[in-house]
Amino acid sequence: MERNIEIVLYAFTVMYTPGPVNLLGLNAGLSTPLRRTLGFFAGVALAIFCWFAVIGLAGQLIVVERIIPVIALAGSLYILYLALKVYRAAPPNATEPADGASAQGAAGQLRFRDGFLMQLLNPKNSVLVIPITTVMFPTHNIAGLSLIAASALIALGGGGAPLLYCLAGRTLGKRIARPEVLVRCNRIMALLLVVVAVLLLYDYVLSPLREAIT
């Protein structure tokens, strides 16, 4: 176990730092019951597992590099869609029970599909997956079924990241339970998601395109 500690530390550092998926988890915790977002976390975990399993078993780094701009473009557009979804979402009415959700609030509910597609199309997966699958796994002779098992464990940790942010959001939400404050939080989160989408477009699409032209 000690020889694999750098894999654990690296994966933890990358997955638990603020990012679009974790920001959505935090926002969901402010106004959405936890049970309504479990599918979102499961989708995130499955997407991470797919990245590790496919790239780890295929080992074709050059193929991944070529499709990163396409993934970044699709991922950025999906993040913008979710930003609009978060911006338009309304928190539950103050008169409703904590575990209930208003018809308006349901419009902003995060589902399995949202978590899976957003994480699958997140080009920053390459920052997590490629160093581990091309350097760390081979160094520690992790291959075959061991690779699948390690990928599953990392994926579970990845799904736990937005869950942890969601729990933090729930704690914070109890302190700012007024609907107007939650609406402002939704809009701030939506703005942050737009910024993330623009940065992804610049880093992974526009910048490589400019270098190719020049």
Give the tens place of pLDDT for each residue, 154-193. Answer: 999 999 999 999 999 888 877 766 777 777 878 888 898 8
**What is the tally of structural domains in the chain?**
1
Q: What does DSSP assign to residue 202?
A: I
Residue 15: which domain range?
Answer: 2-213
Q: What does DSSP assign to residue 124?
A: T
State the Cα torsion 147-151-152-158 to the nearest 10°.
170
Q: b/e per residue, 127-145, with b = 16+ CB within 10 A?
A: ebbbebbbebbeeeebeee
Residue 139, both tokens: 């160094």
What is the reported pLDDT for 96? 43
Q: What is the pTM (predicted TM-score) of this model?
A: 0.78
Encode pLDDT of 99-127 as tens digits. Answer: 444 433 444 578 999 999 999 988 778 77
